[in-house]
Amino acid sequence: MPCRCSAGRRAVVAIALAALAACGDQDEQKLKSARSWSATALVVARHWEQGEVPTAYAKRALRKASEELANGALPEAAEPVDELREAVERGDRAAVRRLITEIAGR
């Protein structure tokens, strides 16, 4: 049976469906971004702990990762990254190693 909807109504429905799909894509993109920033923080921390990157670089990268996480889809993920940054600032490689293990296990 053919649709008796007006062309205008069909257009509104089509736009609404497209908007819903875009929202889903945006949410998925935000989650991917959060996972990426979390992974970046772990990689930077591992390389710092092994003495492969300078402390100044590690602090900046961890601060940026924390900021992006705090403003993204998983703001609670910023806290462990802040803990990593604080351990790097103290020069505490043992704490960084422990935190990496804890975070990676979540």
Tell me the per-residue pLDDT of 25-51, one tens digit each, with 9 for 90 and over.
Answer: 788 888 999 999 999 999 999 999 999
Read off the DSSP letter of residue 74.
-
pLDDT number for residue 27: 84
* Better-predicted residue by pLDDT, 12 or 49: 49
* Cα(38)–Cα(42) distance, integer angstroms: 6
Percent of the chain clearing pLDDT 90 (strictly above): 65
**In contact, 30 and 73? CB cutoff 8 Å:** yes
pLDDT number for residue 11: 54
Predicted TM-score (pTM) of the model is 0.75
